[in-house]
Amino acid sequence: AQSVTQLGSHVSVSEGALVLLRCNYSSSVPPYLFWYVQYPNQGLQLLLKYTSAATLVKGINGFEAEFKKSETSFHLTKPSAHMSDAAEYFCAVTNRDDNIFFGQGTRLHILP
Amino acid sequence: DAGITQSPRHKVTETGTPVTLRCHQTENHRYMYWYRQDPGHGLRLIHYSYGVKDTDKGEVSDGYSVSRSKTEDFLLTLESATSSQTSVYFCAISDPNSDGYTFGSGTRLTVV
């Protein structure tokens, strides 16, 4: 069985500060991991994905995530937050032979 | 949204009435999915399809049925809508050669 846990349903950071959104996964086989972003009244957009290549994955809008097998983590980071980053972020896991499973989401608030 | 559209975008219906939501894709992807999104629950899989007339249940399938008579269309039906089915419904598509899902813009359904 696979699952993801996102720590913190709401995260607030100041504009220009580091963004860190936490995701831990559970999978009995090597996982494929994703981060999606959802802006208000829109569907989910793929930010980045890990598919067993480089453990540090760079995505769109300056985001990146690092796959750490020993910690079963795939945290999302961005060095400097921008007001336009305010959105809900979802971590997801799959092993390609199964469906994709989403975390509960983390809403990111950017403080001026 | 990369060749995937959902209709209607918004719907209000009364308890006990049937409702059908439509997902249409122009990508010729094999897999199609219906999710519901509720606060605190992230996205939960309702049903999915892996080909024409091939469908299976997800984790929250009770009260829902689906049909896929053509590759491009995946219909979600609430046979007798209940207030607990008030939610935002997302359709997604994927292809075995890709590693992520593409989402529609969602349908906001309110059951009164």
Taking the C-alpha atoms of residue A102 and residue A93, their distance in angstroms, rounded to an integer, is 7
Q: How confident is the model at residue B97 (pLDDT cuts 50, 70, 90)?
A: low
Place of tokens 């769109």: A60
- Assign B19 a pLDDT band (cuts: 50, 70, 90): very high
Contact pairs from chain A to chain B, CB under 8 Å: 45
Q: What is the mean pLDDT of chain B?
A: 92
CB nearest A51 (choices: B41, B90, B99): B99
Q: How many CB atoms lie within 10 A of CB A19?
A: 19
Bridge partner residues of B45 (DSSP): B35
- Does the N-terminal peptide bond of residue A112 adopt cis geometry, omega within 30 degrees of 0? no
Residue B30 has pLDDT above 70, yes or no: yes
| Greatest extent of chain A over all pairs of C-alpha atoms, in Å | 43
Dist. CA A76–CA B81, nearest whole Å = 38
> What pLDDT, in 10s, does the model give residues A22-60?
999 998 788 889 999 999 888 899 999 998 778 999 999
What's the one-letter identity of residue B26?
A: T
Select the residue from B33, B48, B103 to test the A interface by mutation, using most A Cβ atoms within 10 A. B103
Q: Which residue from B minimizes the CA distance to A50? A: B99
Q: How far is B45 from chain A (nearest CA, A)?
A: 8
List, for residues B40-91, the tens digit of each pLDDT value: 888 999 999 999 999 999 989 999 999 999 999 999 999 999 999 999 999 9
